[in-house]
A and B are shown apart, each in its own frame.
Chain A
C-alpha cells in the first residue's frame, strides 16, 4: 500500500447514502427535538433500528478484537463507522446520540465479555424493537478521576450487591425505561486496591435496587437523555461481572486489568472525534453557503497577509476541520490494521473537540444576528458541539493522555 486519501467505493457509497438520510430524515427534525427535550423521534428511531439492527449504534462503541491467531487483518470496519458517524452527526448530534444500539455498554461487553456473555447480552440489539445499551462510570465526586470511584460491588452468595450513585449516564433512560436494555456499571470490589479493584458489571433494566433519580436538562444534545442512577443494595447475578473478579496488580495484569479494559476505548475516542467533525462541518457548510449567497468568495491562493479577516477565518476553520478529520481517519485506520493507537486516538479527539468548539462559535460570530437566532440551527450546533470537548474525556484529559504518550510518562510521573 501507499499513501492514499481516496475512500473505497464501498465507503463512498455508504457515505452518500447516509448524507441523504442525514439531510432528509434527521435534520428536518433537529429543532423539534431540541425544543421538546426528553421526547424521542420514535418513528425515525424505529426506522433506524430496522435497517441498522445495532450496526451503527453498536459500532459506535468500538469493536470485537480481530487479532485472534496473531494475524493482522486489514479491514475498513472502523473507518466505515467513522465516516457514517460524521454524516449522521452532520444531520443532528442530539438525534444521532439518541439512536438505538449497543452504545458504550455494548462496547464494554464486546471488549471484555465471554462468548456466553456476548450471546446473553448482545442478542437483544437485533430484535424487533429498538434497544439501548448504556454505561455508568462518572460519579458526583469522580469525573475524569475514575480511580476514585466509590460505588461498591460486594459478593453475597451467588450475587453481586451494588451500592452507590452514578451521574451523566448517556441513554440511561432509553436503556432502562424505554427498552429492555442494560447499563454497564463500573464499581470497585476492593476500595483499597484503587484502579485494580474497579470492575464492570451488567445491570439489566428493571433490576431491583436500581433507580433513575434524575434526568438532566442540558444546554445541547437535548434529544439524548442523560440520567443519574442510584444503586441501593442492587442485586445482580454473579455471572454479570465482565472479565475476572480477581484483583490483580495493574503492573502485571497486562490487558486483563482496568488499564486493558480502558484501552479498548481507544476505539471510541476517534468516533467521538468523528461526531465533533460532523457538527463542525454542518456549521461551516452553512456559513459558506450563506457567503456564496451574499456573493462573497474566499481567495485561498493569495497570501494570508492579503486576505480579509473573514477569509482567514474561513481558511483556518477549513484547515483545522480537515486536519482533525485526517487525524481521526489515521487513528481508525490504525485500529483497522490491528495497531495500537492510543497516541493517535487521543490526538484526534483532543484536536477535534477543540476545533469544533471553536468553529461553531466562530460561525455564530460571523453570521451575526442570524447565527444567534433560533430560526437557524447554527446556534444549536454551537450548543451541541461543546459536549465533544467534554464527554468521553475532556479536552484536557485528551491532552494529558497525549502528553503521557509523547513524553513516555506514566500517570505517576505526569499527574
Chain B
C-alpha cells in the first residue's frame, strides 16, 4: 500500500544524522574545503553514528541485519546536507564493507568486516574510476588475469578516496573484457603489494577536503583468496547500482541545502525596495529548486525500495542518479546565481556547492548503501 512515511527507525536515523550534519559538518564545511582536510573530530563523531555496524550481522562484528538501501538513502541525504567532502570521507569504507558483506566468502567476511565495524575509523579505499575520457564502469581497462594461484592486475585508477591512508584497496578490474558489467570482479589488494603505486594526492575542482589519489597497477600480484566471492565472484551491476543510490542521495542532500540557502537569502536580500524573492524571476528559480529536490528524492526512494525488495533496480538506480546529479548541478548553479556576485566569492557557500556538484558526473563507486 502506497506510503511515504518513514519507519520509526528511519525517522530516528534521519534526526540523529541531521543533528550531526547541521551542528558539526555544515559549520566546518568552508574550513575543510580551504584546508584540504576533513577534521579528525568530524570523522570520529561521524564514525560513531555506526552506519556500517548497523548493517553488519553480529557474527561479523556489527549489530544489524544487512544494508537497507532506503535507510542508507535517508542517512546519506542528511550527511551530504552537512558537507559533501566530509560525507564521502566518513562513508568511503562502505564500498569495501558492503561488497564483502554482500558477496564475500565467509573467510573474507570474518577477516574484513570486524575491521569495518571497529571502534575507530579505518580507511578502506575503493578503486573503480579510471582517468580517461568518458569513463564508464561497463568498460574498465584495468585488467585482472589469472595466473595459477594468483591474479595479475594492470591498469590505473583515479578518484580513489583515502588511498594514501588505507591499508587495503578494493580494486574493480575486468576479468572478462567484452562482457561489460558482467565481466568485472573485485579484489582486495594490500597497498604494500608489489606493483601497486599510490600517486600524489589529486587536485580537483571541488571535494577539496576529500583526499583522493591515482593508483597504478603494474603486474601487481593478488592471491586467489583475495578475489571477492571466490569463484562465484560479485554482481558488479548490483554494486554499481547501490553506489548510484548512495550518490543520488548525496546529490539530493546537497541540492536541498543549496535550495534552502537560496530561499533564505531570497527572503532577506532587499533590492528595489523588496525582498528579491518577491519577484517571480527569483521566486520561480527557488520554487524549481525545491520541486526538483523532491522529484529527485521520489525517484531515489522508489529505486531504493526496489533494491530492498530484492527486485531488479539497476535501471531505476541509474535513472535516479543521473537525474539527481543533473538537478544538483542546476540547483547549485542557481544558488550562486540567486546571490549574484556574493555567490561567487568564497565568503559564502554557494561557490563551494557549485564546484562540488559537478563531481557527481565523475563519481562512481565511491560510496555505497
Contacts and interface: CB of A to CB of B under 8 A. Distances in A.
B267 A408 contact: yes
Interface in B238-297: 240-241, 263, 266-267, 274-275, 277-278, 280, 283-284, 286-288, 290-291, 294-296
Contacts of B299: 319, 322-323, 326
Interface in A395-415: 396, 399-400, 402-404, 406-409, 413-415
A1 interface: yes
A409 B277 CA distance: 9
B283 A303 contact: no
Interface of B: 1-7, 10, 70, 134-139, 181, 237, 240-241, 263, 266-267, 274-275, 277-278, 280, 283-284, 286-288, 290-291, 294-296, 298-299, 301-302, 305-306, 314-315, 318-320, 322-323, 361, 364
A4 interface: yes
Given A303-B136, A402-B287, A347 B267 contact: no
18 contacts: A2-B6, A2-B7, A3-B4, A3-B5, A3-B6, A5-B301, A301-B237, A302-B138, A303-B138, A306-B134, A320-B323, A327-B294, A327-B298, A330-B298, A403-B277, A403-B286, A404-B283, A407-B266
Given A302-B138, A303-B134, A303-B137, A399 B287 contact: yes
Contacts of A408: 267
Contact of B283 (A5, A305, A319, A407): A407
Interface SS of chain B: helix, strand, loop or mixed? Answer: helix
Contacts of B137: 303
A6 interface: yes
A4 B2 contact: yes
B294 A1 contact: no
B283 A2 contact: no
Contacts of A414: 277-278, 280, 283
A407 B276 CA distance: 11
Contact of A76 (B1, B240, B314, B322): B1
A319 B323 CA distance: 7
Contact of B3 (A4, A316, A344): A4
B7 to A, nearest CB: 4
Contact of A351 (B136, B138, B291): B291
A7 B2 CA distance: 5
Q: Assign chain A's interface to a size class.
A: 35 or more
A5 B266 contact: no
A400 B138 contact: no
**Residue from A3, A79, A319 having most chain B Cβ neighbours under 10 A:** A3
A304 B138 CA distance: 12
Interface in A329-344: 329-330, 333, 344
Contacts of A350: 287, 291
A347 B7 CA distance: 25
Contact of B290 (A4, A330, A402): A402
Contacts of A330: 4, 294, 298
Given A318-B319, A347-B291, A409 B278 contact: yes
